[in-house]
Amino acid sequence: MSFDITGKLLEVYPVITVNDRFRKREFILERTETKNSFDFTDYIKFQLTQDRCNLIDLFRKGDSIKVSFNLRGRKWEKDGSVNYFTNLEAWKIEKDIIVQSPATEEQIPLPEDLYPERPDLSSPDEEIIDDLPF
């Protein structure tokens, strides 16, 4: 099962080599949500494993990021005791693109700004054929 979440990168921990076949790295995402004019902040710990441990190196503390992750649950037995644990296993991390409001300096370009060299279809030299059935 795959999920996505955005937030601010708060902490990045070093790579831990558990054994010769397994290594992991954890990081913390801070996410604040406003409900009924109250701010609720969550601190969510994610885990990167094996060759994905270096994905977080492209980002700095304070960056707004989008994390794609899987929810994993495990059963662990030792000395007759059974424990269950849950991991949020990150598999993709991207810089979060924040949409700017019109009041800010940077605005998202409009389609006509992205494609300024479109041909003018309303030219009087060309005959307009109206063959639409409605």
CATH superfamily of 2-97: Nucleic acid-binding proteins (2.40.50.140)
Query: How much is the pLDDT for 101?
Result: 52
Report which of residues 119 and 76 the model is more confident about.
76
Who's near 32: CB < 8 A, 6+ residues apart? 7, 39, 40, 41, 42
Is pLDDT at 113 greater than 60 in this prediction? no
pLDDT at residue 96, as a whole number: 87
Q: Where are the domains of the chain?
A: 2-97
CB distance 53 to 33 below 8 Å: no
- Find where tokens 């700004």 sit: 113
| Residue that has been written with the tokens 């991390």 in this structure | 93
Residue 129: which residues within 8 A CB-CB, separation 6 or more?
Answer: none
Say how far apart CA 56 and CA 66 lie, in whole Å: 11
Enter the pTM of the model.
0.67
Rounded Cα–Cα distance for residues 97 and 70 (Å): 22
State residue 57's pLDDT score.
94
pLDDT in tens, 58-98: 999 999 999 999 999 999 999 999 999 999 999 999 998 76
Share of the chain above pLDDT 70, in %: 72
pLDDT, averaged across the chain: 83
